[in-house]
Structure 1
Amino acid sequence: MDLQIIKTDKEYQNLLEWVDSQFDLDIAPESKAGQHLQIALLLIKQYEDLHYPIPSPDPIAVVKLKMDEKGLINKDLVNWIGSKGYVSALLSGKKPLTLRIAKVLHHKLGIPAAVLLA
């Protein structure tokens, strides 16, 4: 396979099919063929980043999701970030997510900082 910058969807699809066939061969990553495959994957990623960007999630929606996963309710956040009214206003979007609160939520809920600061 001759590797080059992907410019069309057809080239993208062809390279995806080629990569798929290479995975079936169980190629060693450090081999020449493995390095060729890694370059192909970088080209695919570059094309996907340009043509199929993934939007950043809404930070408050992620906080609510994490709360749901951990079985937390609004009242559980009061000790971390403020009054019940403030927590309610924050989760409803009426109050902004400050850097201090983002740090607390990052540490307490394990949400990546990049998501909270998006």
Structure 2
Amino acid sequence: MGADLKPIRTDADYEAALAEAGRLWGARSGTPEGDRLDVLATLIDAYESRHYPMDPPDAIDAILFRMEQQGLTRKDLEPLIGPRGRVAEVLNRKRGLSIEMIRNLHEGLGISAEILIRPTRHEEAA
């Protein structure tokens, strides 16, 4: 088995950890190789979280993703957001979400309220 495990501090450490994880991929859980892979995965995840953070989606991206997942149309959003024109304004980032819309989308589509209250990209640029 490889050298002692140590924190990933540099891009070279990161690349080496990825390469070793690739070699260990598929190792059975509970074996020394499987345990090493689990620890490497944790170290890799911690390094990626620090160096390559992902921005959470804005509210509109989350709504569009959920629509795609569930095969929904804009018409399906009317009970949650309002008339067709309002749905279009919201999805085109021309109108922000009201508290009532946020509640309805959270309950109706199961989108996290935390994501729905985030400013959309259009609001951040203003």
Interval containing the TM-score (normalised by the shorter chain): 0.7 to 0.9
Deviation at 1:114, TM superposition (A): 4.1
Other-structure match for 1:108: 108
- What is the TM-score normalised by the length of structure 2? 0.70
Three-state SS of the structure 1 residue aligned to 2:100 is helix
Counterpart amino acid of residue 4 in structure 2:
D
Q: Which aligned pairs between 1:1-118 and structure 2 lie closer than 5 A?
A: 1-28=3-30, 34-118=34-118
Q: Give deviations 1:46-91, integer Å, cap 9, x for gaps.
A: 1111112222223212312333444433333222232333222222
- Work out the number of aligned pairs and report it: 116
Query: 1-side partners of 2:28 and 2:11: how far apart?
Result: 26
Three-state SS of the structure 2 residue aligned to 1:106 is helix
Query: 1-side partners of 2:19 and 2:71: how far apart?
Result: 42
Specify every segment of 5 or more residues in structure 1 that has no aligned partner in the other structure, as ranges: none
Specify every segment of 5 or more residues in structure 2 that has no aligned partner in the other structure, as ranges: 119-126
- What is the TM-score normalised by the length of structure 1? 0.74
Deviation at 1:12, TM superposition (A): 0.7
